[in-house]
Amino acid sequence: MLVLGIDPGSNHTGWAVLSQVAGRYVLHDAGVLRAKAGQDLALRLVFIHAGLLELIGRYQPDQVAIEAIFKHRSAESALRLGHARGVALLAAASHDLPIGEYNPMTVKRTVGGHGAAGKAEIQRLVQRLLGADRPLPQDAADAAAIAITHLAQSRFQALAKAAR
């Protein structure tokens, strides 16, 4: 199963394509869609949407994983995040891809971090889990962490189903 993890943001949207082979996470590709600074929000959304559609077309993922709603953000940052997240959900759902949503706490714990782990810590943990020589860019590492969480949960759910 190929998973596209997305860390949406109205300026930078991280993405990572992962699978799991014999219990190990395999990174296929990852990157960050960086909208032009100072560009209108609507044009940045067009850029993010087009970028994600291009990635879905290129890698043909089976599923998409995305961070769940932040309840604790300020209304202003939540609204801005919502714009980018809406466009990411649209890109996935318009291709009939199943979408897994995970809250930040679950993502942090799955990659081995504590609840208060920052971006640099997640980056380091993801690098270790992937056995990579170099760390991914932070937003791409966040997207990889979300994809890892989805694979771990899917695997856990499959194991739980087999045990029944």
Residue 56 or residue 141: which is nearer to a second copy going by CB?
Answer: 56
Catalytic residue numbers, as ranges: 7, 67, 139
DSSP per-residue string spanning the chain: --EEEEE--SSEEEEEEEEEETTEEEEEEEEEEEPPTT--HHHHHHHHHHHHHHHHHHH--SEEEEE---SSS-HHHHHHHHHHHHHHHHHHHTTT--EEEE-HHHHHHHTT--TT--HHHHHHHHHHHHT-SSPPPHHHHHHHHHHHHHHHHHHHHHHHHHH-
Residue 18 or residue 84: which is nearer to a second copy going by CB?
Answer: 84
Minimum Å gap between C-beta 126 and a second copy is 25
Residue 2 or residue 89: which is nearer to a second copy going by CB?
Answer: 89
Residue 107 or residue 111: which is nearer to a second copy going by CB?
Answer: 107
Minimum Å gap between C-beta 48 and a second copy is 9
Minimum Å gap between C-beta 54 and a second copy is 14
Please give the residue ranges that form the binding site for a second copy (CB under 8 A): 40-43, 45-46, 49, 69-76, 78-87, 89-90, 92-94, 99
Minimum Å gap between C-beta 123 and a second copy is 25
